[in-house]
Amino acid sequence: MKSLTKFFSSLQLTVILLIASLALVFFGTLDQAQYGIYHTQNLYFEHVVAIWHYPEQWPGHEFFSWLQLPIPGGYLIGPLLVINLAFAHVRYFRASWKKAGIVLIHTGVLLLLIGQLWTQIQQDEYALWLNEGQQKNYVEHFYDTEIVVTEKNAPQEGQDHVVAWDVDPLSFRDRPVLKQAELPFHVQVLDYFPNAAIQAKAMAPEGATDAAAFYQVDRGIVSERDLVVMPARVSYQQGAENWATAIVELQGPGGQALGRWVVSEMFRQERPMVMWFPPQRFEYNGHTYEIALRKQREYLPASVELVDFSHDRYPGTNVPYNFSSEVKLHEAGKEHPRETLIYMNHPLRYHGLTFYQASFGNGDTASMFQVVHNPAQVVPYISCIIVTIGLLFQFCLGLFQGVTRRNKAQPAPQQEA
């Protein structure tokens, strides 16, 4: 037990862990060239162990393709560092002014590590695309998708009854039947592709795999427009989009087949630019329904309206000096909307969410906001202050000691050759 305490509180462990985190950060950065930031983050920093492969694009890949390195991941190093720090403090702690800086630094670092973990667990990021004049009361997840069935018989626009199931790529392999008591039918997932290319049969390359034909899809856009669905590899390139696609069969209460549809993110209705696909509607028992696969939505207590987006460039150049969005926030029960301007380095904070100007499109008439929910937001601020005070204290102490020591010593002799 004592040796265990000694091990966990040792400086050797600290050094090993620091070097391991260095390796983690280095290889995690290298792989971003291949996998992009988001995927690398999952592979390296939010994982226990990562495996680094010699990249295909590097010279000499034919000789080094066997080269693989296991890299300790963030979820291994982080907790060990926390344990190491805690043990070392218990073991070595002595109340002394000279050590005050060290204690502060380590407390701050501990707080930073814990805060980062808290952030990774709790933080949510969403996107909000708005055209000028458009209003929305929800934001969308960046990556997670959902399958939704909407009953279109509501008396008023926007009050339709919506049933949504989160897409879970793992459990979707087992071809689950999605049920919901309020719906008179079930949805069985026949297949799911994290990415697929959908195009006209005439344009498709010869001999391409057509998942729609394989599953004999007989309803919806794909069958009406004679499209092919070709499963594709997920791309991690910056800016590349992956179209999550599912093939579903609707079944009546007794399990009888009502037809097969392809639902895909490619038929999205939300973002600007792509508007070629109408919603997929059908009638059942005298009611109209819509079925779709889309980014998961999170509803807001207010709706956001984009009044105007501006994009100013320095004259004679393409260098922008301003992106800004004039926005109205319509809150329920309030007569007058709240007006505000969102621009670079000046986000809108509302209801625990922060809206940042992130992108734009449609010839400068559409604006995209990144919406972040992060309850641990203040932690880094506090720990930064603590560590900086500690570092400054310790550095000044060392400098002061060094100078006094030197003043006591004799002046340096100089030799002449």
Q: Which of 227, 323, 327, 366 binds other proteins (CB under 8 A)?
A: 323
- CA atoms of 195 and 276, how far apart (whole Å): 19
Q: Answer for the pair 186, 178: CB distance below 8 angstroms, yes or no.
A: yes
Within 368-407, the residues that bind other proteins by CB under 8 A are: 370-372, 374, 377, 380-381, 383-384, 387-388, 391-392, 394-395, 398-399, 402, 406
Q: What is the DSSP letter of 208?
A: -
Among candidates 45, 32, 122, which has minimal Cα distance to 76? 45
Within 257-296, the residues that bind other proteins by CB under 8 A are: none
Partners of 291 in the beta sheet? 149, 280
Region near other proteins per CB under 8 A, out of 118-126, 242-250, 252-260, 297-305? 118-126
Region near other proteins per CB under 8 A, out of 31-39, 185-193, 210-218, 282-290? 31-39
Q: Within 13 Å and on the Cβ side, how many CA atoms surround 156? A: 2
Q: Answer for the pair 343, 357: CB distance below 8 angstroms, yes or no.
A: yes
Q: Which of 5, 6, 7, 37 binds other proteins (CB under 8 A)?
A: 37
Q: Which of 223, 354, 362, 365 binds other proteins (CB under 8 A)?
A: 354
Please say which residue, 134 or 324, places its beta carbon nearer to other proteins: 324
Q: How far is the CB of 371 from other proteins (least distance, A)?
A: 8
- CA atoms of 80 and 103, how far apart (whole Å): 18
Q: How far is the CB of 370 from other proteins (least distance, A)?
A: 6
How does 307-324 read in b/e, with b if 16+ C-beta sit within 10 Å? Answer: eebeeeeeeeeeeeeebb
- Three-state DSSP at 354 gives strand
Please say which residue, 12 or 256, places its beta carbon nearer to other proteins: 12
Q: Quick check: 303 binds other proteins (CB under 8 A)?
A: no
Strand residues in 167-234 grouped as ranges (E): 177-178, 186-193, 196-200, 227-231
Q: Which of 12, 156, 256, 285 binds other proteins (CB under 8 A)?
A: 12
Q: Quick check: 30 binds other proteins (CB under 8 A)?
A: yes
Within 124-153, the residues that bind other proteins by CB under 8 A are: 125
Q: Which of 5, 29, 153, 359 binds other proteins (CB under 8 A)?
A: 29
Q: What residues contact residue 115 under an 8 Å CB cut-off, 6+ apart? A: 376, 379, 380, 383
Q: How far is the CB of 321 from other proteins (least distance, A)?
A: 6
Within 39-98, the residues that bind other proteins by CB under 8 A are: 40-41, 45, 55, 57-59
Within 160-189, the residues that bind other proteins by CB under 8 A are: none
